[in-house]
């Protein structure tokens, strides 16, 4: 029978979810987790997982309570099941079991195979009143990046492009600086801080010589991935000259000299097989999972983004629509007559916002191909 939750229980778990979201830029590839401790409906402490490798939410909240006797018979609200294994932190379950909680509320199960319901089982076996599923959908939605990564064993993929109102990512001659307005550039760097990895194609490196870092926003810069199937790029670009963050050079033929040059700056070469002049995307996903890239941001250009769309290999598409109409330009490669074989993709608009003079549209890919009537 579905549990009935009181207004107070719902309010407190909502607070825990708000706290969890504060880990958006720091926790990945770990999940975002929030914790609230309440006594008779009154909040006595709070915590969240701030940085990858740092204290877990429940430990932060418990540590904050000076008078430990206050914890007895209080309620523990967790947005994610407590961990039972030694990771970068000791298992939270060991600390939780030492306190006589009135109730332990857990919104969602941890799909990490090292946990996977084990935390809930242990607490129930200990005789704790564990109440599961309070705002479960919201808690799962909050961590869709983490759940995609753990369950599908591939990164959660966000495609992002700034486009003119008539759909071009760049002028015909390849220059695209700047379609986006100042505020959108800052927003783009915030997006980078949410991701573990950022990927662009060869021509974007050649045309824009980008750094792909989070210079305009205080946050962790993602690891950089450059696709250059035919080893055409020289290494005189910022993504190779800068020592950090690490750059992974994705190609199909090993070039020992280039690999040695890359290694001097701490960068690495990834060799993948190719099929139909394209790198094998499945192999790429496997490699990214191996490198703990839970969230990949694909920032262009049009050809690179199109390859992910052609494979329906993305979860979110972000378009920054800029108030320009370009006479001619470079768009998404799949926007051409010949691509009739590809099924129509349906998207769900999940968010839109005005940033300066630009309109940001955030879409979620609906997995079922769409049949127009
Ligand atoms: N408005 C924006 O948001 C935005 C963002 C980024 C870039 N840009 C602009 O877009 C332009 C570049 O875009 P573009 O579409 O011409 O080129 P691109 O996507 O940057 O690079 C395409 C090249 O990358 C390699 N590549 C990419 N994906 C591949 C895959 N899956 N398998 C194998 N190789 C792959 C291929 O190189 P090979 O041909 O060697 O195989 C391909 O020709 C530039 O003008 C840049 O300024 C705009």
Domain ranges of the chain: 7-144, 153-221+281-365
280-305 residues labelled b (16+ CB within 10 A) or e (exposed): ebebbbebbbebebbbbbbbbbbbbb
Residue owning the nearest CA to atom 33 of ligand 1? 278
Asked whether residue 337 carries a pLDDT value surpassing 80, the answer given is no
Give catalytic status of residue 187 as yes or no. no
Q: Are 249 and 271 in contact (CB under 8 A)?
A: no
Distance 306 CA to ligand 1 centre (A): 9
Measured CA to CA, the distance from residue 36 to residue 57 in angstroms comes to 9
Is any ligand 1 atom within 6 A of the Cβ of residue 109?
no
- Residue 66 gets the label, from left (phi > 0), alpha (psi -120 to 50) or beta, of alpha
* Per-residue confidence (pLDDT) for residue 169, from 0 to 100: 92
What pLDDT is stored for residue 104 in this prediction?
98
Q: Is the dihedral of CA 307, 312, 318, 323 positive or negative?
A: positive
Q: In 216-229, which positions are buried (b, 16+ CB within 10 angstroms) versus exposed (e)?
A: bbebbbbbbbbbbb
**316-322 and 278-279 strand pairing:** unpaired
pLDDT at 330: 83
Q: Which fold has domain 7-144?
A: Cytidine Deaminase; domain 2 (3.40.140)
pLDDT band with cut points at 50, 70 and 90 for residue 171: confident
pLDDT band at residue 174, thresholds of 50, 70 and 90?
confident
The two beta strands, 103-108 and 42-48, are: unpaired
Mean pLDDT across the chain, nearest whole number?
93
Q: What is the CATH number of domain 153-221+281-365?
A: 3.40.430.10
Q: How far apart are CA 215 and CA 189, in angstroms?
A: 7
Query: Coil, helix or strand for 3?
Result: coil
Residue 131 CA, ligand 1 centroid: distance in Å: 50
- What gap in Å lies between CA 332 and CA 303, rounded to an integer? 6
pLDDT tens, position by position, 298-315: 999 999 999 999 889 999
What confidence score (pLDDT) does residue 263 get? 98
Q: Is 60 helix (H, G, I), strand (E, B) or coil?
A: helix
Provide the 3-class DSSP secondary structure of residue 140.
helix
pLDDT of 218 reads: 94
**8 Å CB contact between 71 and 39:** no
Q: Which of the four pLDDT bands, split at 50, 70 and 90, describes residue 228?
A: very high
Q: Are β-strands 268-271 and 247-251 bridged in parallel, bridged antiparallel, or unpaired? A: parallel
Distance of alpha carbon 68 from alpha carbon 98, whole angstroms:
11
pLDDT of residue 117: 96
Q: Is 211 left (phi over 0), alpha (psi -120 to 50) or beta?
A: alpha
pLDDT at 139 over 70: yes
Expressed in angstroms and rounded, the spacing between residue 304 Cα and the centre of ligand 1 is 5
Catalytic option among 46, 58, 299, 307: 58
Atom of ligand 1 nearest to the CA of 308: 31
Q: What is the pTM of this model?
A: 0.94
Residue 302 CA to ligand 1 centre (angstroms): 6
Report pLDDT for 334. Answer: 56
Q: Is the pLDDT of residue 177 over 70?
A: no
Mean pLDDT score, 175-197: 91
Cα dihedral 251, 254, 257, 262 in deg (nearest 10): 40
pLDDT confidence of residue 225: 98
Note the pLDDT of residue 138: 98
Confidence of residue 327 (pLDDT cuts 50, 70, 90): confident
Mutate to test the pocket of ligand 1, among 201, 275, 288, 310 (most ligand atoms within 8 A of CB): 201
Where residue 1 falls among pLDDT bands split at 50, 70, 90? low
341 pLDDT band (50/70/90 cuts)?
low
Confidence of residue 343 (pLDDT cuts 50, 70, 90): low
Across 153-179, average pLDDT: 88
What percent of the chain stands above pLDDT 70? 94
Is the pLDDT at 373 greater than 80? The verdict is no
Residue 371 has pLDDT above 90, yes or no: no
* Pocket lining: 172 vs ligand 1, CB cutoff 6 Å: no
Q: Which one has a higher pLDDT value, 203 or 370?
A: 203
| Interatomic CA distance for residues 144 and 315, integer angstroms | 10
Query: Is the confidence at residue 230, as pLDDT, over 60?
Result: yes
pLDDT tens for 216-225 read 999 999 999 9
Ligand 1 nearest atom to the CA of residue 205, by list position: 20
| Mean pLDDT value across residues 267-285 | 94
- Contact by Cβ (8 Å): 139, 15: no
192 lines ligand 1 (CB under 6 A): no
CB 344: neighbour CB atoms within 10 A? 8
């Amino acid at each position: 029978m579905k549990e009935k939750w009181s207004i107070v229980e719902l309010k407190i778990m909502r607070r825990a979810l708000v706290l969890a979201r504060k880990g958006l830029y720091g926790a990945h590839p770990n999940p975002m987790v929030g914790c609230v401790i309440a006594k008779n409906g009154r909040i006595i402490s709070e915590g969240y997982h701030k940085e990858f490798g740092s204290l877990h939410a429940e430990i932060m909240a418990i540590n904050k309570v000076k008078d430990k006797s206050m914890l007895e018979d209080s309620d523990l609200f967790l947005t994610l099941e407590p961990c039972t294994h030694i990771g970068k932190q000791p298992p939270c379950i060991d600390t939780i079991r030492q306190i006589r909680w009135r109730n332990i509320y857990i919104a969602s199960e941890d799909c990490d195979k090292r946990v996977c319901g084990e935390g809930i089982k242990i607490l129930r076996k200990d005789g704790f009143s564990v109440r599961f599923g309070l705002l479960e959908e919201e808690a799962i939605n909050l961590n869709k990046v983490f759940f995609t990564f753990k369950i599908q064993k591939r990164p959660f993929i966000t495609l992002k492009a700034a486009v003119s109102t008539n759909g071009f990512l760049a002028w015909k001659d390849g220059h695209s600086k700047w379609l986006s307005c100042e505020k959108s550039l800052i927003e783009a760097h915030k997006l980078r801080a949410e991701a573990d990895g950022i990927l662009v194609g060869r021509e974007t490196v050649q045309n824009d010589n980008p750094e792909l870092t989070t210079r305009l926003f205080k946050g962790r810069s993602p690891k950089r991935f450059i696709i250059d199937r035919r080893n055409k790029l020289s290494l005189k670009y910022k993504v190779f000259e800068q020592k950090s963050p690490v750059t992974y050079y994705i190609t199909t033929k090993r070039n020992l000299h280039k690999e040695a040059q890359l290694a001097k700056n701490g960068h690495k070469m990834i060799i993948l097989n190719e099929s139909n002049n394209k790198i094998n995307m499945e192999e790429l996903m496997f490699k990214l999972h191996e490198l703990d890239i839970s969230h990949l941001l694909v920032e262009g250009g049009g050809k690179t983004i199109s390859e992910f769309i052609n494979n329906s290999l993305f979860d979110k598409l972000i378009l920054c629509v800029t108030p320009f109409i370009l006479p001619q330009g470079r768009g998404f490669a799949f926007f051409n007559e010949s691509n009739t074989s590809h099924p129509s993709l349906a998207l769900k608009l999940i968010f839109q916002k005005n940033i300066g003079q630009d309109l940001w549209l955030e879409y979620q890919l609906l997995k079922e191909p769409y049949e127009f009537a």
